[in-house]
Each structure stands twice: as C-alpha cells, then as structure tokens.
Structure 1
Amino acid sequence: MIIRAVETPEEKQLAYDVRTTVFVHEQNVPPEVEIDEFDGEAIHLIGYENDVPIAASRIRFIDNYGKLERICVLKNQRGNACGSEMIRTMENVIKKEGYKKAILNAQTHAIDFYQRLGYDVVSGEFMDAGIPHVTMTKELK
C-alpha cells in the first residue's frame, strides 16, 4: 500500500469516499457525524493499492497529542496489514510535527489491534456515533 497526505480537493473526496463506505454504509454512522467540522483542520491520509483508494485516516493536534482519527480500510483489504501500516505512517507524521504522544478513540472490537501496536487503554468505555469506544494512548519514540 502507498500512503500519501491528501493535497487536492479530489484526493480529499477519495478519502471521504473510503470513510463513507466503511463508517456510514458498513457501521451506520450518520453522514453528518462522519464528515464533521474538524475535517477542515485535519491532515488527511489516503492509502492506495494499484492506484485504487483502499484506506483513509486523519490526524489532528490537541494539547500535547497527535490524535489519530477516522482510521479505516475497505473490507476487502482488511487482514493485509493495511491498518498497521496506516497507524505507523500517522505516528511518523505526528513525530515530524514535533509531538511525542499519540491518542485515539478505538472501537472496542479493535482494542487488541491497537494494543499490539503499543497503545494502552486510558478510559472506560463510552459511546461515539452509537458504537462503544475507549481512549488509548502511546508514547512515540
């Protein structure tokens, strides 16, 4: 997978299309919740396989953290380490921006995935867009 920072409105729309497929169509997140007021300030990433968009994410900077958000991989590409590759790329962007900590809100079914990548649960369970989540953090080296 090739991961690039979104630079054009067309690329941003491709990232939104991947997010819409995963979050709106698969997970029934309302479209107005998925595409929100924070998209304008975020760094967006998109992952391509053979020039086809298959993964997307965004990063925001809050307090002392780089916040990993909207991480998704199309269903037919899951299990190919695309998610791990996206997380590593996001962490590198955060470090390049001078931050040493990452934070994310993980869907509870993905806790083990994030723990394998070095993230620790730091909150109780809460609901976001009707889906149970926990907050997780990691010190970046």
Structure 2
Amino acid sequence: MTSKIIDNNSDLDLAFSIRKEVFVEEQGVPLELEFDEFDQLNSHSTHILVYFQDLAVGTGRIRYVEGQGKLERICILPHYRQYGLGKLIIQTLEDISIKDDAYKVKLHGQEQAAGFYERLGYHKASDIFIEDGIPHILMKKELSKK
C-alpha cells in the first residue's frame, strides 16, 4: 500500500475514473456535481492516488479554505475497502496539510462514514446536512506539528 501526489494528467484521469465509479455509478451523484473547478493540476488543490499491489484503487484531494485544509473527494473502489486504504488517504492528505503549514483540517464526511473519521481523530462540528443528495456532517481535526 502506497500513496502518491498526482503530478500528471494520466494519473489525474485515473483518479477521476475511481471517483466516477464510486460517487457517480455506486452512490448516484450526478456527474455534473462530481467534478468542479478544483479538478485540474495546479488548481489550488493537491490530488493523490493510493495503490494496492501496484493498482490505483483510491483517491482524495486537499485544498485550502480560510487557512484550513479541506479534505475532499475521498473514495476507494468497493473491492479494496477492507485493507486500511482509507486511513492511508487521510494520513497522506494530513501530511500534505502539515507540509503546507495548515494544522487545522476539515471535511464533509458522509454520515455513514462518521465513525471512521472519529477513529482517526476527527470530531463532529455540525448537524447533518445534505450534499449531492447524501447525508453529510462537517468534521474537524487539529493536527500536531511533526
């Protein structure tokens, strides 16, 4: 299991195909809502891929909003969800945030995944809200300087 920062359009296309399979096909998010202005290289977002046995199976991105890292578009292909890759995605994005001197992070976690984020040190910071037709909750965490 490894992760890498995306630095070319070929890898970015891989991330998009993972997101399309998970969010659009599996969860029913409309295609036009899944992709946005932050989905380009050098668009004030850093995108990552995670690999299982040399196969790209998960992705996520981070961008900065009001001085905080905002973790977004976190997903793993269905057959690879039992290997701890979600934790690797979060840790990689948190490490990027620390490198960029942003020690507060937040995310809009799907309600069904709140327990996963809580186990990684996030706390609920809002009531449940609907985003792209799915119940979400704002979650926050303060990171430690390494």
Q: Give TM class, smaller chain.
A: over 0.9
Amino-acid identity (%): 40
| Distance in 1 (alpha carbons) for counterparts of 2:3 and 2:91 | 11
**TM-score, with structure 1 as normaliser:** 0.97
| Distance in 2 (alpha carbons) for counterparts of 1:80 and 1:121 | 25
For 1:132, what is the secondary structure of its paired residue?
Answer: strand
1:23 corresponding residue in structure 2? 23
How many residue pairs match? The answer is 141
1:7-54: CA deviation from partner (whole Å, max 9, x where unpaired) = 111000000001111000100001111111122321100011222110
**CA shift at 1:88, angstroms?**
0.7
| Aligned counterpart in structure 2 of residue 92 of structure 1, from 85, 91, 95 | 95
| Distance in 2 (alpha carbons) for counterparts of 1:7 and 1:51 | 17
For 1:29, what is the secondary structure of its paired residue?
Answer: coil
Please, which runs of 5 or more residues in structure 2 have no aligned partner?
Answer: none
| Aligned counterpart in structure 1 of residue 69 of structure 2, from 61, 66, 84 | 66
| Distance in 2 (alpha carbons) for counterparts of 1:88 and 1:49 | 16
Please, which runs of 5 or more residues in structure 1 have no aligned partner?
Answer: none
Give the residue type in structure 1 aligned to 2:31.
Answer: P
| Distance in 1 (alpha carbons) for counterparts of 2:30 and 2:94 | 28
Q: Is the 8 A contact 2:94 2:143 kept in 1?
A: yes
Give the residue type in structure 1 aligned to 2:9.
Answer: P
Runs of 4+ that moved beyond 3 A: none
Matched, 1:75 2:78: yes
Q: CA RMSD in A?
A: 0.8
2:113 corresponding residue in structure 1? 110
Alignment of 1:10-49 (within 5 A): 10-40=10-40, 41=43, 42-49=45-52
| Distance in 1 (alpha carbons) for counterparts of 2:51 and 2:114 | 25
